[in-house]
Structure 1
């Protein structure tokens, strides 16, 4: 009863004040925004360690005005770096060109290939053409395996037929006494002995011909293949002499012409 009496009393008071249920619901409608005075926000800014009088945000127009200045500084700085780079570039290129030594390339015609070769020589015979600087390993069915070679320079040419009497891998080199004396007269001093290796003039393999001082051997100067450059020996690229070494046995016939 007391609760019912309380509700009736509250309703009567509201009607007496001229309020209707619709007006009572108006207090739940959207309210206008609350505006806080800068003076009220000042204590919160002080907690962040800034003075309210010094806290100022740049207007969007001011920010846009600052960007072109920064860009202009970047543009002004670029030409100086570009000029410095252009000034040093030729020097760097010159230094690189001095370090690199360009060597002649071998003519592709002197690379190994299978060719037609009609001859009376039996397969396994080695024929060396000192005029065109080719070595032929005769095969069956009118074919031959052809390699480019370096041959004797003018005054050191020779011809003949011999047998392969010995084979050696990475052979040592002992220059003949005649060669040492000949080169000494030119002002060049040859060593009496050079151990086998990549710097050895005989290269990776050697096939010794008869009882002569001549050999079919590799070289540490592959760009000389295809020319008359030796003191009578037959030069081959290291890759090629290794291949020939595995195909030609001791006792094979070698014809130099």
Structure 2
């Protein structure tokens, strides 16, 4: 093997190594390392049909099979989707925009995850700031005494009688997040619900309801004691 061949081969290896190292290092204008981004970039695009099939398909959870939602029958603006944050609130805040029937979880970097919700009827709404003081998967439903007084048929599910057992027909659905204000339970909840037709409407007794698939996603994003703002 000639000396010329060895020399040229060594030069080729050194050049290749230099190229690899250069590709692993970025430099700023002054020749130093480029700063890391403040927050990860997230796509702000509507979900595709394939993504919606997964998002709103059947779910096995907690020993129950949540049926698929015929999302094609729901206004697309109420699909779970990432959007540019319109709230102006700090990251980690939950915001309920009651007039628009949207719930937002504010993310770092100027985005928010948005969910369509059903809200309380006139006279059965709450507004203000509080905290998500407690969260519960597959909760028991215990209608407050005021509701039982209005609807005596619910007495079998009253607080005194232990409430309704968790399940697919339970009005609180697969998850419930309990809103407290100044350390006191407001009796208002963010919760799942099997009635997907109610999303975008004012039909509940004051609580904010989501589709079960969406409330599971929300539950996984919202920590204990997260700040919540409900706007009327």
1:191 pairs with 2:165: no
User: How do 1:193-212 residues align onto structure 2 when only pairs under 5 Å count?
Assistant: 193-210=163-180, 211-212=185-186
TM-score for both structures, normalised by structure 1: 0.57
- The 8 Å contact of residues 125 and 207 in structure 2, kept in 1 or not, is answered as no
1:1-257 aligned within 5 A: 105-184=73-152, 188-192=153-157, 193-210=163-180, 211-257=185-231
Shift of 1:118: 4.0
Gaps in structure 1 of 5+ consecutive residues: 1-101
Q: Distance in 1 between matches of 2:74 and 2:164?
A: 26
The structure with more radius of gyration: 1
Secondary structure of 1:236's counterpart equals: strand
If each structure's helix is expressed as a fraction of its own residues, which one has the higher value? 1
- In the superposition, relative to structure 1, how do residues 174 and 189 fare at CA in structure 2: closer, same or farther (>3 Å)? closer
Q: Which runs of 5+ in 2 are unaligned?
A: 1-69, 158-162
Distance 2:173 2:84 in 1: 29
8 Å CA contact 2:93–2:106 kept in 1: the answer is: yes
Question: How far apart, in 2, do the equivalents of 1:149 and 1:255 lie?
Answer: 15
Checking the alignment, whether the CA contact within 8 Å between 2:126 and 2:188 is kept in structure 1 is no
* Alignment check: 8 A CA contact 1:119 1:142 kept: no
Higher relative contact order (CA 8 A, sep 6+): 2
Q: TM-score, normalised by structure 2?
A: 0.63
Assess if the C-alpha contact under 8 Å between 1:170 and 1:196 holds in 2.
yes
Q: Is the 8 A contact 1:175 1:191 kept in 2?
A: no
